Homo-oligomer: A and B are copies of this chain.
Amino acid sequence: MATIGIDVGGGSIKGALVNEENQIVKQCTRVNRINRSSEEMAEDMADIIRELTQDGPAEAVGIGLPGTVDDEAGVVVYTPNVGFRKYDLRAALKEMTGYEVHLINDANAAAFAESQIGAAQGAESVVVVTLGTGIGGGVVIGGKLLTGYTGAASELGHMVIVKDGEPCGCGRKGCFEAYASATALVRMAKKAMAEHPESMMNELAEKDGKVGARTAFEAYDAGDPTAVSVVNEYLDWLAEGLANLINIFFPEVIALSGGIANRGESLIKALEERVYPRTHGSAYALKRTKLAICSLGYESGMIGAALYAKSVME
């Protein structure tokens, strides 16, 4: 029987019907925005569930959310950007659709999907790090998702790597996210562009109408010295956090996703050089963590939510 996976984001709520071969056979989307009520968003999800079950019932429904969920309680505890605060989404959707939905953090959903059918398939343990506006994290050990006692585990972006450093959206200072997200790269690029008006980054940004992670990487590829220094600085921060995660989890695979991960193999090579020397006992290690790029793209959230709901039912 097919399973439904729903991925709730600030811009859209996307649903997919996933068949037993883990392929998406049907999709539907509702527009979302940041100031809607929990009830309005739940109504959209109910709509999606109804639409995806027109041709027959689903085995399970999983919902990925951008924040903290407590799947045991069925409650969305806190999603910073879309407005859920201790909202009993399971009860709401049970009433509207009859389905007992399962809740999962969206980065956890992506990690679960990558561990089951993506870049880390077959690995005994995997840490997925999403490099986007922020840094999301998901950890799967022995086929099981790390959710922690509270359901809020693996907020890997909110590990402080510079005490009293750059302010982070979470309220702490010096988080990994504040130094190694795409947003952090843009901050570093802007600072360097102001200090080096001759940098090619200024030209590229003017053409594009904005400074993005691409601005830095494109100029880096062209050999612009300022961009080379910005990208190297960024890679060093990223490597520092990844080395921490290896020392903590020593997973078989760390898989990266998000826009910056599109750099692919050149990113992996640059990180290997910087990460391995920082891992504990690396000189004597018999095995080492493989660094990889996630393979499922934006669908990983929906697929992961579906796979998670199915795994909980089993």
- Residues of A whose CB lies within 8 Å of any CB of B are 67-68, 70, 73, 75, 77-78, 85-86, 123-125, 141-142, 144, 146-156, 158-163, 170-172, 179, 237, 240, 243-244, 247-252, 277-278, 280-281, 283-289
Contact = CB atoms under 8 A, between A and B. Distances in A.
A148 B249 contact: yes
Copies, count = 2
A148 B162 contact: no
Contacts of A67: 281
A304 to B, nearest CB: 19
Nearest to A284: B78
A251 B149 contact: yes
A34 B143 CA distance: 40
17 contacts: A73-B286, A75-B286, A77-B284, A78-B284, A86-B284, A125-B148, A125-B149, A148-B250, A148-B251, A149-B287, A150-B287, A154-B248, A154-B249, A155-B248, A155-B280, A160-B161, A163-B179
A161 to B, nearest CB: 6
A284 B289 CA distance: 35
B77 A153 contact: no
